[in-house]
Structure 1
């Protein structure tokens, strides 16, 4: 019996003794997990559950953090677990296992679990690098703020700029205000010649607009400009004629006002006097602008001896610059009347066109050209070496051929000049063809000469 009792004691108490010894040894070890013994809530004799001591400090760089779940996971040596996790020692396997603590499991819903599974995990080293980057970004942001403050200090506030812009808008002048101010300065006795020249230059720029030119007339500026044509200073005469011509160009309202203010007589007087060439060029420009598409002015031009004045000017000019301008102006006047007459055959035209046809019928320009000897003057321009001068002369001869044809046929110098020019331009056309170049200009010159010769032979 004693033997049996000893044997029972051994079989009963020996396992318990071993268990307590093992637990004591585990507790005494300096484990990285800092485990403590707790009651086994599941009543499993082979397992003891422990929790992590949250006050245990562990160096982050030496540990690998494991992410607990609802299921028990084996905890490898050197691995760390988050605070609040449950860790137990599996007595069957001798390994530590970890799962979520009760507080963690309380908030671990299915949606939260899925969200956490989708999020990437980061190692301690990555977290340290991210923290360094955050600090660097904060320093950079501070520097950027200082730089923005430095840049902002160099510029004016928006509200101040708005106030200044509002004041500037009050100072902006319209074209009408500018012309009014310029005319006042032009009429001022305190203005110097240089100032007047500058004012006339500004006015010439402004009157290119039809409305501005008409406004200038309504302000009385036309009278001031005409006074400049009578100035003793040739520069003021030239600039005044330039402003007048620009205001008259394609502006019927200003053309009428100019004739009413005596502009035609003033221009003819200026052309008839011994003025420099550059002044007469600008005066011819103003005259051409006044007469273009204005039969009333053309009729008064003829009745006031305009062709005689141009004839003297043509004879005195040996360079050909004024001759070309005069011939071009006369040619344009002839072609205008011819075009109006041809258009007048259309029965659908309105009464205003009929009035223009009537006015042009009162302008006997070609008859006056014949009487004033222009049939013999224009061919002299063919003697020029300039192709442009010759072209203008040929166009004018064709336009005047209606009244000058008999005189052309009896002018041997004209006949010889046409033959010589034709041969010259045909050679130029052939030379260009040989070189592989195509220039229709010389071909057009040949066509003009041939057209005039055909009319003379017919």
Structure 2
């Protein structure tokens, strides 16, 4: 009996000590108080998220949010809040409960709906009214600026009306050439208008198709009539158009030869004409002969080399001489290149035909017969480096047929020695400035090559 009494007294003592400890903790950390929400609802939690319902007054109430936030001693939370003990920090934390979140969201949505009852038009009107009342001076300035800008430009309706009245026509090249030819044929056209027409045609015929179309329209005959005109300006412009039309255009070259263009050009060269006309006519002749053995054969048969030799002798300035020598050099080089290509084992039919056509052009014999072996060296007397270079190239190309005459021409030998010394000094000057293979060095190589052939 005494033992049971002792045990009961021990248990009572332990219970008393435990209660005292709880009381000291609560008194030390203050109480966690749950206050009622405005609607009088209370919520609850469990385990880590607990809810303690304690009615207290005059406490600091924490407004929870969606995120967890730490509670300080003496703070209270609204009913329905979720409270938990953070085991890592040992502090209590609180956030808004699900019911509160739903209530807050619904309340926020209703507030926005009330605010959105103001229409955009009403808001714009209010802002405009406010701006007009606050800044009347700016309103007047803007009105004046608008009036000023409007006065500088025509109304849109007026512009549309004027554009509708315009007859906008986009012409093709064919339509343009037809219109130009009609104007050229018109008896009311003046010389100045025809010169302008020829200038436009010269621009158009650089395209192969346009040049061929011009011939099919009868434009070639009009050009030849211009060559026979007594007005030197029409002669010059017509020759320019013809040269541009036949350049690298075999179809037009054939039509030009068949139309007698070559005879007309040679006739103009053989008559007394200003230098400007003869330069354009030589341009047309060179374009008609280039890479076209059929035309070259007609050129030789109609005394073309004789006409050029007379023109070469009469030219004192060297401009025409240089053009003539360049033309001859091109003709010789073309035939030489064709004969070298003929050594290939595999040839197509067109190439064989070209070789056959060039074989019918007896250019070398004509050059020898017309005295060109002694005419071309005269161009070396020019002071122009370009003229001398072209003469040296032509002399080298003519060497196979003129070599005997070169060796007998003492003036040619003396010119080559003099030019070699002169250009060697120029080469030294080029090397000083760092040009080892300059223009003058190239001329020296041409002189050496010609001297080597003459030995």
TM-score (norm 2): 0.69
Q: Partner residue of 1:354? A: 352
> Is contact 2:377-2:395 (8 Å) kept?
yes
The worse-fitting range, judged by mean Cα deviation, of 371-380 and 432-441 is 432-441
Cross-structure match for 1:3: none
- 1:132 deviates by 8.7
3-state SS in 1 of match to 2:368: helix
Instruction: Specify the alignment match of 1:25 in structure 2.
Output: none
146-155 vs 207-216, which deviates more? Answer: 146-155
**Is the 2:239–2:281 Cα contact (8 Å) retained in structure 1?**
yes
Match of 2:326 in 1: 328
Structure 1 partner of 2:245: 247
Are 1:303 and 2:301 an aligned pair? Answer: yes
What is the match of residue 98 of structure 1?
none
Mapped to 1, the partners of 2:335 and 2:165 lie a distance apart of 55
Aligned: 1:364 with 2:362: yes
Distance 1:144 1:215 in 2: 63
- Alignment-derived partner of residue 220 in structure 1: 218
Determine the structure 2 residue equivalent to 1:58.
Answer: none
Structure-1 separation of matches of 2:404 and 2:215: 46
Is 385-394 or 184-193 further displaced after alignment? 184-193
Q: How far does residue 287 in structure 1 lie from its aligned partner after superposition?
A: 0.2
From the superposition, tell whether residues 70 and 410 of structure 1 become closer, same or farther in structure 2 (CA, over 3 Å): closer
Which is further off, 402-411 or 148-157?
148-157
- Secondary structure at 1:319's aligned position in 2? coil
- Quote the offset at 1:69 in angstroms: 6.5
Q: Which residue number corresponds to residue 184 of structure 1? A: 182
Q: How does 1:334-345 map to 2 (within 5 A)?
A: 334-345=332-343
Q: TM-score, normalised by structure 1?
A: 0.69
Q: Which moved more, 1:273-282 or 1:153-162?
A: 153-162
What corresponds to 1:433 in structure 2?
431
**1:386 is the counterpart of 2:381:** no
Secondary structure of the structure 1 residue equivalent to 2:273: coil
Distance 1:439 1:219 in 2: 51
Q: 98, 109, 120: which one pairs with 2:104?
A: 109
Find out whether 1:202 has 2:197 as its counterpart: no
After TM superposition, give the deviation of residue 352 of structure 1 in Å. Answer: 0.8
What are structure 1's unaligned runs of at least 5 residues? 1-40, 49-67, 72-104, 117-130
In 1, distance between residues paired with 2:208 and 2:132?
64
Instruction: Name the residue aligned to 2:254.
Output: 256
Task: Report what 1:65 is aligned to.
Answer: none
How far does residue 157 in structure 1 lie from its aligned partner after superposition? 3.8
Alignment CA distance shift 1:386-1:46 (3 Å): closer
Q: CA 1:443 to 1:135, structure 2 compared with 1: closer, same or farther past 3 Å?
A: farther
Q: CA RMSD in A?
A: 3.9
1:368 aligns to what SS in structure 2? helix
Q: How many residues are treated as equivalent by the alignment? A: 352
Give the secondary structure class of the aligned counterpart of 1:171: coil
Give, in whole Å, the separation in 2 of the partners of 1:442 and 1:142: 78
User: Which residue of structure 2 aligns with residue 34 of structure 1?
Assistant: none
Query: Deviation per CA, 1:397-418, whole angstroms, max 9, x where unpaired?
Result: 0000010011101111101111
Partner of 1:346, secondary structure, is coil
Once the two structures are TM-superposed, the CA of residue 306 in structure 1 deviates from its matched residue by 0.4
Residues 113-124 of structure 1 aligned to structure 2 (within 5 Å): none
CA apart distance, 1:149: 9.0
Cα distance in 2, alignment partners of residues 205 and 388 from structure 1: 29
For residues 340-360 of structure 1, the C-alpha deviation after alignment (integer angstroms, 9 at most, x for no partner) is: 111112232210111010000
Q: Quick check: 1:272 aligned with 2:270?
A: yes
| Aligned-partner Cα distance in 1 for 2:190–2:338 | 47
CA change 1:321–1:70 in 2 (3 A) is: closer
**Residues 135 and 341 of structure 1: CA distance in aligned 2, closer, same or farther (over 3 Å):** farther
User: Which of these residues, 373, 376, 388, is aligned with residue 375 of structure 1?
Assistant: 373
Whole-angstrom CA distance in 1 between matches of 2:188 and 2:142: 58
User: Does the aligned pair in 1 maintain the 2:321–2:379 contact within 8 Å?
Assistant: yes
| TM-superposed deviation, 1:210 | 0.9
Q: In the alignment, which residue of structure 2 is the partner of 1:314? A: 312
Corresponding residue SS for 1:232: coil
Matched, 1:451 2:449: yes
Shift of 1:137: 10
Deviation string 1:329-380 (CA, Å, 9 cap, x unpaired) is 0000000011111111223221011101000000010111001000000000
Residue 171 (structure 1) aligns with: 169
1:155 Cα deviation from its structure 2 partner: 5.6
TM-fit CA distance, 1:190: 1.2
CA distance in 2, matches of 1:209, 1:139: 69
Match of 2:415 in 1: 417
Number of the residue aligned with 1:10: none
Deviation at 1:160, TM superposition (A): 6.1
Alpha-carbon deviations, 1:190-227, whole Å to 9, x = none? 11111111111111111111111111001000000000
Contact 2:430 2:438 in 1 (8 A): no
Q: CA deviation at 1:187?
A: 1.2
Secondary structure in structure 1 of the residue aligned to 2:194: helix
